[in-house]
């Protein structure tokens, strides 16, 4: 093997090692980013669940405000304008239940 061939082989070997280390470093950086992204996605999912629970609780409070004037006042004091229909539909048992509409 001639000297120039040896030198080319050594340079290519070093280049391969440098590229291998670069790939490893990039992979570890990507793994860290992926972990952070998964944490953020879990936070988003938890926030969505909390919003669904909040909407359910608010709807139950509106339902309770039909029979409870204090609840109706509490919702109104906090910016929820609840209006009941003037002509409530009749149910299958013949009784009427007022419908409500909530506007924040």
Ordered mean pLDDT values, 10 residues apiece, the chain (104 residues) = 92 97 96 96 96 92 89 89 69 59 59
The pLDDT of residue 84: 75
Tell me which residue range forms the domain holding 15: 3-103
The pLDDT of residue 94: 60
Helical H segments across 66-102, by residue range: 69-77
- Alpha-carbon distance of 87 to 82, in angstroms, equals 15
Q: Give the CA angle between residues 45, 49, 51 to the nearest 5°.
A: 115
β-partners of residue 84 are: 100
Q: How many domains does the chain have?
A: 1
- Alpha-carbon distance of 32 to 29, in angstroms, equals 5
The pLDDT of residue 91: 60
The pLDDT of residue 87: 63
């Amino acid at each position: 093997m001639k000297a120039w061939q040896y030198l080319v082989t050594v340079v290519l070997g070093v280049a391969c090692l440098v590229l291998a280390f670069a790939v490893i470093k990039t992979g570890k950086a990507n793994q860290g980013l992926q972990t952070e992204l998964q944490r953020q996605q879990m936070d988003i999912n938890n926030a969505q669940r909390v919003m669904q629970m909040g909407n359910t609780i608010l709807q139950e409070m509106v339902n309770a405000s039909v029979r409870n004037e204090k609840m109706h006042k509490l919702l109104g004091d906090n910016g929820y304008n609840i209006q009941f229909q003037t002509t409530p539909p009749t149910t299958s048992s013949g009784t009427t239940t007022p419908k409500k509409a909530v506007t924040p």
